[in-house]
Amino acid sequence: MKTIEINGNQGNSIILIGESLQNLKTYVPVEKAVIITDTNVSAFYRKDFPPYEIIEIGTGEQIKTLDTVREIYGRLLHLEADRSSFIIGIGGGIVCDIAGFVASTFMRGIRFGFVSTTLLSQVDASVGGKNGVNFKGYKNIMGMINQPEIVICDMSLLKTLPEREVLCGLAEIVKHGAIADAGLFSYLEENHQEALNLEADLIERLVYDSVVIKTALVNKDEREDGERKKLNFGHTFGHAIEKVTGIQHGEAVSAGMVVAARLSEKRGNISPEDTNRLEALLRKLKLPTELSLNKVEILDALRKDKKRKGDFVDFVLLQGIGNAVLEEIPLRELEAVIMGQN
Ligand SMILES: NC(=O)c1ccc[n+]([C@@H]2O[C@H](COP(=O)([O-])OP(=O)(O)OC[C@H]3O[C@@H](n4cnc5c(N)ncnc54)[C@H](O)[C@@H]3O)[C@@H](O)[C@H]2O)c1
Ligand SMILES: [Zn+2]
């Protein structure tokens, strides 16, 4: 097991990589804890939960709303939870985002932690303190930054994860390698099959390296005023693709990273070989690199991007594999890349 620490404005977060759900109780600092989980995770793992009260929620992005939050507040009051209670989210990004939101607002904020049960959540969602819910079709528009005290990443839980969910986690790992760690990138190139097979030691290294990268950026810039934005590589196009096609986030980010790499190449930041390497790796990991897209809809979604600043977008370009730069790019240049795609 390895540990990594995040130093947040409101408190620190300890991420335990390779720890087991079965040891959760030893990390819970109080007597009275309440678990928030979803129906799928509960069906597989409830038998391994410590004997705390459990609040079960449904699954899917559509339940990440204030209505679900309101229901949980009601259940917490009914359970007589108070300021000394501790909330533990056991699940993927949806459970963690909701549990963090609830814990940060219930009685003006109580202590909380996560057991991260999806690859995406282990390498991304449960790290960095962003909590939030969707509202009127806007993703993660209501929320706060507040670090969980502990995060357990138990790789053995990934065995029951549907393959499509595994691939979404792998897309974010490729992103981490591409923006900050050429070694991680080549390691994945050499071990793509083992990664797809979820080989335990290998996944532990991939999660660890990813958390190191994300933590370093969060420690420098918790509120995403600068450096942390690099984690959005592939996401400007990715979000537009996700919105228009409705495919999974990781799949959209995969295709979005390829478009961002092409733009980096066009601007002379990387070589065509680098773009090819990125595409080849994503393909080996069974992730999409090209999609037949309705260009007009994609352009419309890009214009509606909440991170757009007038005619410019803060955009993450690659500067070689393992290095990223932030630049303000005119929207019309992004549009030109989309229009140039077959
Ligand atoms: N806070 C952040 O910084 C951050 C970063 C990235 C993504 N997110 C958010 O994370 C969410 C996506 O998270 P996700 O991909 O983990 O999705 P998810 O939480 O919906 O989990 C995916 C599916 O897998 C099931 N599942 C979870 N663990 C399982 C297991 N061990 N075995 C079998 N099934 C299991 C879930 O019930 C669900 O059906 C999005 O809402 C996104 O906005 C947040
Ligand atoms: Zn993402």
Report pLDDT digits (tens) over 6-41.
999 888 999 999 999 999 999 999 999 999 999 999
Residue nearest to atom 38 of ligand 1 (CA): 59
CA distance readout (Å), 315 to 39, 179, 195, 235, 308: 37, 13, 29, 9, 10
Looking at residue 307, its pLDDT comes to 80
Distance 191 CA to ligand 1 centre (A): 24
Please, which contacts does 331-335 make with residues 24 or more away whose CB atoms are closer than 8 Å?
Answer: 331/302, 331/303, 333/263, 334/236, 334/237, 334/263, 334/302, 335/299, 335/302
Residue nearest to atom 8 of ligand 1 (CA): 125
Residue nearest to atom 4 of ligand 1 (CA): 125
171 CB burial (10 A radius; 0-12, 13-18, 19+): buried
Domain boundaries, the chain: 2-160, 163-340
Closest CA to 54 of 41, 65, 63, 64: 41
Q: At the topology level of CATH, where does 2-160 sit?
A: Rossmann fold (3.40.50)
Looking at residue 175, its pLDDT comes to 98
Output 304 or 328, whichever has higher pLDDT. 328
Distance 26 CA to ligand 2 centre (A): 31
Nearest-atom index, ligand 1, CA of 250: 15
Using an 8 Å Cβ cutoff, are 36 and 68 in contact? no
Q: What is the pLDDT of residues 275-302, one digit of tens each?
A: 999 999 999 999 999 888 888 999 899 8
Count Cα atoms within 13 angstroms, Cβ side, for 190.
8
Q: What is the pLDDT of residues 147-183, one digit of tens each?
A: 999 999 999 999 999 999 999 999 999 999 999 999 9
Distance 249 CA to ligand 1 centre (A): 10
CA 323 to chain centre: 20
Tokens of 27: 């990390």
Residue nearest to atom 11 of ligand 1 (CA): 93
Pairwise CA distance, residues 202 & 188, whole Å: 9
Residue nearest to atom 30 of ligand 1 (CA): 161
Pairwise CA distance, residues 238 & 163, whole Å: 20
Residue nearest to atom 27 of ligand 1 (CA): 92
Q: What is the pLDDT of residues 84-110, one digit of tens each?
A: 999 999 999 999 999 999 999 999 999
Using the predicted structure, report yes or no on whether residue 306 has a pLDDT greater than 80.
no
Tokens of 103: 């814990």
Pairwise CA distance, residues 334 & 329, whole Å: 7
Torsion region of 28: left, alpha or beta (phi above 0 gives left; psi -120 to 50 gives alpha): beta
List, chain by chain if needed, residues with CB within 6 Å of any ligand 1 atom: 38, 40-41, 44, 59, 61, 64, 91-95, 97, 117-118, 120-121, 124-125, 128, 130, 139-140, 157, 160-161, 165, 168
Looking at residue 342, its pLDDT comes to 45
Q: Which CATH number fits domain 163-340: 1.20.1090.10, 3.40.50.300, 2.120.10.30, 1.10.1470.10?
A: 1.20.1090.10
Using an 8 Å Cβ cutoff, are 211 and 4 in contact? yes
- Outline where 107-162 has alpha helix (H): 119-120
Distance 121 CA to ligand 1 centre (A): 6
Q: CA torsion angle for 191, 192, 193, 198 (degrees, to 10)?
A: 90
Ligand nearest to the CA of 121: 1
Looking at residue 305, its pLDDT comes to 82
Tokens of 39: 């129906």
Mutate-to-test residue for ligand 1 from 44, 46, 121, highest number of ligand atoms within 8 A of CB: 121
For residues 264-284, average pLDDT: 97
Pairwise CA distance, residues 192 & 187, whole Å: 8
How many C-beta atoms surround the C-beta of residue 56 within 10 A? 17
Looking at residue 341, its pLDDT comes to 60
Provide the 3-class DSSP secondary structure of residue 92: coil
Tokens 């204030």 appear where? 66
Mutate-to-test residue for ligand 1 from 95, 97, 124, 235, highest number of ligand atoms within 8 A of CB: 97
For residues 226-252, average pLDDT: 95
Closest CA to 319 of 247, 253, 271: 271
Distance 168 CA to ligand 2 centre (A): 8
Tokens of 41: 């995770």
Q: What is the pLDDT of residues 198-232, one digit of tens each?
A: 999 999 999 999 999 999 999 999 999 999 999 99
